[in-house]
Amino acid sequence: MKEKKIAFLVYEGMELLDMAGSQTAFYEGNQFVNGSYRLIVVGINNEIVVSESGTQIKPCCSLDSLGECHTLVIPGGKGARLNSLSQKELQRLRELIEKSERVVSICTGAFLLAKAGLPEKTKIATHWAFAKDLKSEFPELLVDESSLFIQDDKYWSSAGVTSCIDLTLKLIELDLGKLAAMHVAKYMVVYLRRAGSQQQYSDLLSLQSPKDKRLLTVLEWLKDNLEKRITVDMIADRANMSERQLYRVFINEVGFPPAHYLEELRMEVASTLLVSSEQNIKAIALSVGYRSHDGFKRAFQRRYSISPLKYRQVFSSSEVG
């Protein structure tokens, strides 16, 4: 097997774990199949960089001296989201990207990869909290805010932070086989394949802060009455609005139609109860307004791509069913 050169880009304000998680996984893959990978830390130049958390990193070489590599890994971090690289530096990065057989962006490394240049309509994943910003800044790209990682041609991209390990395990499986990937996952004490999508980690509704006092009152009422049967007509009456006006205010203020917001709220409360309480799943379903356990399970699976029981097992030590 020909040794693959894996280059990890470092720059000011990068997220250390984005690089370290992937780097460690590739290293363990190399331990299992000796001579499979050669790992190199490459900087924009040869100078020491400081990560977002304050760790200093000394590159092995610069973009100018690297030559080429099989896989280029671009971690995320605050530095990737800012315009911290000059046009000349971006051009050097672009040239390396063009020469690389495989390009991997981790988390918000997608911003740096996009700045260096991606073909129009390229599918790319990033952390759910920054997906809207990426869409706004690069509307020509197809941003995936749900998947843990995706591939589009030679471009691979992952969601937030630890999903770099999920993606790297997949690359190891492609390079060295499933047995190697299983070995690395076992050694790192992680799942070979995590269930669900990154939607199970997002907290959409808590980010909303409506300015309309009438709507704020209605949202509080919804939270206090989730166990009841609630219709859009009831919400409109509570807000003293017509249904059309209610729809318009919800879209403007919280980004969802009323019915969609209600289901999201029920799912968010249910997911919190699954990991913070010992109530059985049927009781939780009733407490958020579902009279049928199967209906609740289908709605939860639709929202989080994972069953309520599996969600509880992943995020909580409780195994109450």
Q: Which residue has the higher pLDDT, 93 or 213?
A: 93
Matching residue, tokens 């720059």:
11
Q: Write the single-letter amino acid at 219.
A: L
Q: Beta strand pairing status for 37-43 and 61-62?
A: parallel
The pLDDT value given to residue 312: 85
Tell me: pLDDT of 208 over 60: no
Helix ranges (DSSP H) in the chain: 16-32, 63-66, 78-81, 87-99, 109-116, 131-137, 163-176, 178-188, 213-224, 232-239, 243-254, 258-276, 281-287, 293-304, 308-315
**Looking at residues 160-188, what average pLDDT do you find?**
87
The pLDDT value given to residue 30: 95
For the chain, which domains are there?
A: 4-198 (3.40.50.880), 205-315 (1.10.10.60)
Rounded to an integer, what is the distance from CA 57 to the centroid of its chain?
25
Angle at which helices 16-32 and 178-188 pack, to 10 degrees? 130
pLDDT in tens, 46-55: 999 999 999 9
Q: How many residues does the chain have?
A: 321
Look up the pTM and report it.
0.66
**Looking at residues 168-190, what average pLDDT do you find?**
86
**Looking at residues 232-257, what average pLDDT do you find?**
91
Tell me: pLDDT of 253 over 90: no
**One-character DSSP codes across 54-77:** S-EE--SEEHHHH---SEEEE--S
Tell me: pLDDT of 193 over 50: yes
**Looking at residues 250-276, what average pLDDT do you find?**
87
The pLDDT value given to residue 268: 85
Q: How does residue 277 score in pLDDT terms, banded at 50, 70 and 90?
A: confident
